[in-house]
Chains A and B, each alone.
Chain A
Amino acid sequence: MSIQRREFLATIGGGALAGLAGCSAVTGGQQAQPGVAGETLTLTTTTSTYDTGLLDALNAPFEDMYGVTVDSVAQGTGAALETARAGDSDVVMVHARSLEDEFMQGGYGINRRDLMFNDFVIVGPEGDPAGIEDMSSAAEAFATIAEAEAPFVSRGDNSGTHTKELVVWDEAGVEPGGAWYQETGQGMGAVLNIAHEQGAYTLSDRGTYLSQRSEIDVGILVQGPIGGGPELLANPYGIIAVNPAVHPDVNYDLAMAYIGYVTSPQGQDVIEGYRANGEQLFFPRALSEDPDFQQYVPEGWSSDAGDS
């Protein structure tokens, strides 16, 4: 085990311990208030974590435990990271690994943890004009849609979903464009509505799709890994603290307490237990008996490589 990794783990472990220590101090009935009581944590995140109602459910116990307020700003992945770069937020919770890696490479983010996952699904109109139902390859499905020039609605907004969509187009070897491909710049719910209205295909995260299913009529044509579909459609979420060395004003203590909480057994239970319309939307991923070092560093990073 290299020195850097040891330090990483020590920091994470220390942070988690500090968080848990804070927890037990409060729940243990001691008189001393945690040092962060009364403060506000600014969390910038994607729209899917907020719109599904998960964040309200997840944050409430944390707020009670510490006597703090969590301000969740649901901006979309790109904007959330940009706000963090400016030092206007303390912690980010997003789901675009390439953008997260970029964020860390720039030195803005530290102490990344895997948080949870769900997956994406390719949805489309009844009748499936492009004939992609039950394909086992997402890339193939997209290629088929492009060739058939079947209408496709894109988020077009640098969000996690949009980033994934572009990755799949890339895998399919297609440069999307033309009258059939519409970039809307809208949120997931609005895009699903548009797809429903226009009988078009789109890529959606399962969580938003499930919570909207009662109101719209598009069906899942290609499943993500949770439904047995291709791994390419996996949708992992990460949580990263903003580096106090770059922005000394951020509330690093509280950010670490929050990360400690959401990756703790208690937090992960809340995530696992969250339901919308009777369905589970998110699957916990932070804790495992088997070590996963990849979560702490940019994908593909190795200490043997020339630069870190």
Chain B
Amino acid sequence: MPLEALGAAGLPIAVGLPAAAGLPFESVYLRSIVAVSLYVSVTAVVLSTVVSLPIAVALGFSDFPGRRFLAAVITTGMGFPSVVVGLLVLFAVSNQGPLGTFDLVFTREAMIVSQFVLATPPITAISLAAIGGVGTDVRDAARVLGGTKVDVALVTLKEARYGIATAILAGFGRAISEVGSVLIVGGNIAGSDGVSKTRTLTTAIQLEARQGRYDTALVLGAVLVVLVLIVNAVVVRIGDEGVMQ
């Protein structure tokens, strides 16, 4: 409970503090870049989780052709440089690229794509570790008591829920702190009215740093850290409550 109260109070404080401290931010600007950061990263992580969990279950318990290849791809993906992902996504969505017709260059949606690519390997790999730890006896019981394969998969996921929460938080952490790829595919755009279009906390930090305004960059960094802490607290809290039972 105290952690939630801290979180509920924390974000407005974090958003209001820079203005109060006399730093050159309108709260509109700061709120909009926080909103873009959250929109892009949360969407990417949600999509990634939806894709990762079935893959983790399949990798954990089924045998299919290409299984080892898929596992190798995931392990490699975990260390894949984000900047390179950004370049590849830019190449794909550029006017000249295969996905050019969708007009995705310099949009939040392109940023979601690149963060999805970055978040999926860690979410899959960590979930896989958690899922693999679920005892065969429990899965057996789920089957024998009348469950279908889907039921058994659901039981497995529920048994592994703490590990999966860790995986999701790891994926979110990777997504929201990421700067290289979202800079390249998003273009760090903010309107003349101060409202961000594709500017996130991380690319805003990069902008300030490029101009040598390191103090401002640090303040933004602090806001980012507070944001990550709040999300962690929320996810852990959901895990403890009955929602995931």
**A contact residues vs B (CB 8 Å cutoff):** 42, 47, 51, 55-57, 59-60, 63, 69-75, 86-88, 186-190, 192-193, 208, 212, 215-216, 247, 249
Q: Is B96 an interface residue (CB 8 A)?
A: yes
A51–B211 touching, CB < 8 Å: yes
CA distance A247 to B207 in the complex (A): 30
Task: Tell me, rounded to whole Å, the shortest Cβ–Cβ distance linking A188 to chain B.
Answer: 8
Q: Is B76 an interface residue (CB 8 A)?
A: no
A88 CA to B93 CA in the complex, in Å?
Answer: 9
List 14 interface pairs A-B (beta carbons < 8 Å), by A numbering: A55-B192, A63-B192, A69-B191, A71-B106, A71-B189, A75-B187, A87-B94, A87-B95, A190-B210, A190-B211, A193-B212, A215-B212, A216-B212, A249-B103
CB-CB < 8 A to B187: which residues of A? Answer: 71, 73, 75
Question: What is the chain A residue whose CB lies nearest that of B103?
Answer: A249
A117 to B209, CA, bound (A): 26
Contact with A74, one of B188, B191, B209, B213 (Cβ below 8 angstroms): B188
Could you tell me the distance between the alpha carbons of A47 and B96 in the complex, rounded to whole angstroms? 25
Pairwise interchain contact B95-A47, C-beta atoms closer than 8 A: no
Residues 139-169 of B, flagged 1 when their CB comes within 8 A of A and 0 if not, give 0000000000000000000000000000000
Which residues of chain A are near B15, meaning CB under 8 Å? none
- Given A73-B187, A88-B105: A59 in contact with B211 (beta carbons within 8 A): no
Instruction: Type the 1/0 row for B188-213, where 1 means its CB is closer than 8 Å to any CB of A.
Output: 11011100010000000001011111
- Binary flags per residue of B202-241, CB closer than 8 Å to A gives 1, else 0: 0000010111111000000000000000000000000000
Contact between chains at B212 and A249 (CB < 8 Å) = no
CB of B203, distance to nearest CB on chain A (Å)? 11
Contact A60 B211 (CB under 8 A): no
> A86-B96, A88-B106 given as contacts; is B188 within 8 A of A73 (CB)?
yes
Chain A residues with CB under 8 Å of B189's CB are 71-73
- Are A88 and B95 in contact (CB-based, < 8 A)? yes
Name the interface size band of chain B: 20 to 34
- Whether the Cβ atoms of B95 and A190 lie closer than 8 Å is no
Q: Which residues of B contact A192 (CB under 8 A)?
A: 212
Starting from the known contacts A73-B189, A186-B210, A190-B209, 9 additional A-B residue pairs (CB-CB under 8 Å) come to A47-B210, A70-B192, A71-B189, A73-B187, A189-B212, A190-B211, A208-B211, A215-B213, A249-B103
Provide the residues of chain A in CB contact with B95, threshold 8 Å. 86-88, 247, 249
Residues of B within 8 A of A59 (CB): 192
Q: Say how far A130's CB is from chain B's closest CB, in angstroms.
A: 23
The interface residues of chain B lying within 8 Å CB-to-CB of A215 are 212-213
Please state if B212 and A60 are interface contacts (CB–CB under 8 Å): no
Please measure, in the bound complex, the distance between the C-alpha atom of A212 and the C-alpha atom of B212, giving whole angstroms. 8
B216 to chain A, nearest CB (A): 11
Q: Assess whether A189 is in contact with B192, with CB atoms less than 8 Å apart.
A: no
B209: chain A residues within 8 A (beta carbon): 190
Question: What distance in Å separates the Cβ of A207 from its nearest Cβ neighbour in chain B?
Answer: 12
Contacts of A51 in B (CB 8 A): 207, 210-211
Contacts A192-B212, A215-B212 known; A87 to B96 CB distance under 8 Å?
yes
Q: In whole angstroms, how far apart are the Cα atoms of A47 and B191 in the complex?
A: 15
Nearest residue (CB) in B for A69 is B191
The A-contacting residues of B in range 101-153, CB under 8 angstroms, are 103, 105-106
Chain A residue contacts of B103, Cβ below 8 A: 249
Give bound CA distance, A58 to B209, whole Å: 24
Tell me, rounded to whole Å, the shortest Cβ–Cβ distance linking B105 to chain A: 4
Which of A57, A73, A86, A190 is the one whose CB lies under 8 Å from B212?
A190
Residues on B with C-beta less than 8 A from A216 are 212
Report chain A residues within 8 Å CB of B105. 88
